Amino acid sequence: MGPVLAVGGCREARAWSLQGGPRPMGPGRAGPMRSSVAAPDCCGGLGNLDFRKADLCVMTRLLGYVDPSEPHFVAAVLTIAFNPLFWNVVARWEHKTRKLSRAFGSPHLACYTLGGAILLLNVLRSHCFTQAMLSQPRMQSLDNPLAYRVGLALLGVGGVFVLSSFLALGFTGTFLGDYFGILKEARVTTFPFSILDNPMYWGSTANYLGWAIMHASPAGLLLTTVVALIYTVAILYEEPFTAEIYRQKASQAHKRS
């Protein structure tokens, strides 16, 4: 089925203060979402990576092991790309129309339902990821005990970030609650948000990277790159919209006061 803890990866709610408008949060990123919490540059998440500087020789070598037209690989790419598209389209539609909230009788129940659907889609993604690895050749240079332990360590670190993010945000905070009008009163600054931006996204990416290394799988490494790129695009797409939601909320609160 794949790494159980790699089911994280929906848009993470930004817990902002409603007093005085949206405030910056999260290290390692420019713009309205930066945090006042100081952190080393290395902890800004994979969003700080310049993919243009990637070693093309390494990518070429990996591609030599992979058949991108193999059905399981294609299915994995499609599920990786589809999931963020699904939750962003549905969440924005809900924010604009409130039709899900009306259909389910409350925004909380609608959010729980969408969250359940996202979890199932992420389980499917992990399954397709694993099947794609099993259907492609292994890389001999990664097929050793040391590499396996490195992969296991990455899987553990990713799991910590995913689970701690969920505990810090709660279910509605994790699964797009702000699009349903379920907004937080204050910023979340506890671990892992105190050291890493978008920890659920990058924790999930670390899970897939560790899983790929444990399987000595070039296909898994390429798919992990796709995961990282898709999450980077999702962050760029989601953050301005989330900032606007909290800006409007703060403006309304200011007018009432």
244 annotated to a ligand binding site: no
pLDDT at 195 over 80: yes
Average pLDDT rounded to a whole number, residues 74-97: 97
- Condensed to tens digits (0 to 9), the pLDDT of residues 89-143 reads 999 999 999 999 999 999 999 999 999 999 999 999 999 999 999 999 999 999 9
- Diameter of the chain by CA atoms? 66
C-beta atoms surrounding 73 within 10 Å: 22
Q: Output the CA angle 202-39-246, nearest 5 degrees.
A: 70
SS (H, E, C) the chain: CCCHHHHCCCCCCCCCCCCCCCCCCCCCCCCCCCCCCCCCHHHCCHHHCCHHHCCHHHHHHHHCCCCCCCHHHHHHHHHHHHHHHHHHHHHHHHHHHCHHHHHHCCHHHHHHHHHHHHHHHHHHHHHHHHHHHHCCCCCHHHCCHHHHHHHHHHHHHHHHHHHHHHHHHHHHHHCCHHHHCCCCCCCCCCCCCCCCCCHHHHHHHHHHHHHHHHCCCHHHHHHHHHHHHHHHHHHHHHHHHHHHHHHHHHHHHHHHC
Q: How far is CA 81 from CA 9, 224, 234, 242, in A?
A: 12, 12, 10, 21
94 annotated to a ligand binding site: no
% of the chain beyond a pLDDT of 90: 61
158 annotated to a ligand binding site: yes
116 annotated to a ligand binding site: no
Nearest-CA neighbor of 215 among 130, 156, 157? Answer: 130
pTM over 0.85: no
Range with lowest mean pLDDT among 37-41, 54-58, 123-127, 164-168? 37-41
Distance in angstroms (rounded) separating the CA atoms of residues 69 and 114? 32
